[in-house]
């Protein structure tokens, strides 16, 4: 099993010298890049691996490059027929998405016996090697790379919309009916709500927390204003903790 892109970058953080890597990295760019991903040997040179990369796994636009990808560099007209491969670890602050100079990579053969971070423009400026493409494929193995998390979307199903409209006194019976009708994904959120209510203190006196728990147990309604006022009045321990858990559970229902 190959390493994830997070494990790939972590490998580089912990392997910078020959003693840490387990071999001298000079002239061993392909071995370094496949070792960081736990990918076995197949080709002798980066150029061979580059040529064997399927077109659908080639990212030629700089703006499409992502952390964890491997980047190929080469000058087909120089004396070095091996080419070069590096690992992208990020971009500089305030980067231009189309600038190779703003791309940061881990590479060997810049400092003797070590791996170092340089800009993507380094290889053209110092070695004459031009950027070829980035890839999520090496030695016949496809691997992952950083992808920006998708923003949460509103759940617009009828039951959830009804639950949303029941605010500020959230009617959990609506969710109960949704679960019974087939929305099994909401069952975990209902369970979290029930557990958060259960974990509130069992006040003996007629406090706001006591009123909140009674209302939920009798009507399955969350009168959150009661907990908000209780917290404002000083119930900053368990009450605040469970209030925040209820807020998170409600949010989880409304957004997917």
pTM: 0.65
- Token pair 């617009």 is found at 156
pLDDT at 1: 85
- Give 204's pLDDT tier (boundaries 50, 70, 90): confident
Q: Which domains does the chain have, with CATH numbers?
A: 5-142 (3.90.1720), 158-254 (no CATH)
Statement: residue 79 has pLDDT above 90: no
pLDDT at 151: 82
3-class secondary structure, 89? strand
- Give 214's pLDDT tier (boundaries 50, 70, 90): very high
With a pLDDT cut of 90, the percent of the chain lying above it is 91
**Pairing mode, if any, of strands 130-135 and 116-119?**
unpaired
pLDDT tens per residue, range 152-170: 788 889 999 999 999 999 9
Statement: residue 88 has pLDDT above 80: yes
Of 83, 26, 80, 28, the closest CA to residue 53 belongs to 83
Q: Residue 171 and residue 184: Cα distance in Å, rounded?
A: 18
- Token pair 């728990």 is found at 213
- List C-alpha distances in Å: 150 to 143, 153, 169: 20, 9, 30
pLDDT at 153: 83
pLDDT at 152: 79
- Give 148's pLDDT tier (boundaries 50, 70, 90): confident
Angle, in degrees to the nearest 10, between helices 238-254 and 187-198? 170
Query: CB under 8 Å to 13, separation ≥6 — which residues?
Result: none
Statement: residue 256 has pLDDT above 80: no
**In this structure, is the dihedral angle defined by the CA atoms of residues 180, 246, 212 and 223, taken in order, positive or negative?**
negative
pLDDT at 162: 96
Q: Residue 183 and residue 89: Cα distance in Å, rounded?
A: 40
Query: CB under 8 Å to 84, separation ≥6 — which residues?
Result: 29, 46, 72, 73, 74, 107, 109, 123, 127, 129
State the average pLDDT for the chain.
Answer: 95
Statement: residue 47 has pLDDT above 90: yes
Q: Residue 228 and residue 244: Cα distance in Å, rounded?
A: 10
Statement: residue 149 has pLDDT above 90: no
Statement: residue 242 has pLDDT above 90: yes
């Amino acid at each position: 099993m190959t390493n994830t892109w997070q494990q790939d970058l972590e490998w580089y953080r912990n392997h910078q010298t020959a003693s840490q890597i387990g071999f001298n990295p000079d002239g061993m760019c392909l071995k370094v890049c496949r070792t960081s991903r736990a990918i076995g040997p197949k080709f002798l040179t980066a150029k061979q691996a580059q040529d064997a990369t399927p077109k659908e796994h080639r990212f030629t636009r700089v703006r499409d490059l992502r952390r964890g990808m491997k980047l190929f560099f080469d000058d087909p007209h120089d004396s070095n027929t091996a080419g070069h491969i590096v690992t992208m670890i990020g971009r500089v602050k305030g980067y231009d998405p189309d600038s190779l100079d703003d791309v940061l990579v881990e590479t060997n053969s810049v400092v003797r016996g070590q791996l170092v971070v340089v800009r993507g423009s380094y290889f053209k400026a110092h070695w004459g090697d031009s950027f070829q493409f980035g890839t999520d494929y090496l030695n016949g193995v496809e691997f992952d790379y950083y992808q920006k998390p998708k923003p949460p979307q509103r759940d617009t199903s009828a039951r959830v919309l009804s639950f949303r409209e029941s605010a500020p006194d959230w009617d959990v019976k609506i969710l109960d009916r949704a679960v019974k009708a087939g929305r099994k994904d909401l069952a975990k959120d209902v369970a979290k709500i029930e557990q958060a209510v259960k974990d509130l203190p069992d006040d003996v006196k007629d406090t706001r927390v006591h009123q909140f728990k009674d209302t939920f147990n009798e009507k399955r309604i969350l009168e959150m204003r009661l907990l908000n006022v209780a917290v404002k009045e000083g119930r900053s321990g368990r009450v605040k903790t469970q209030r925040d858990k209820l807020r998170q559970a409600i949010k989880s229902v409304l957004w997917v």
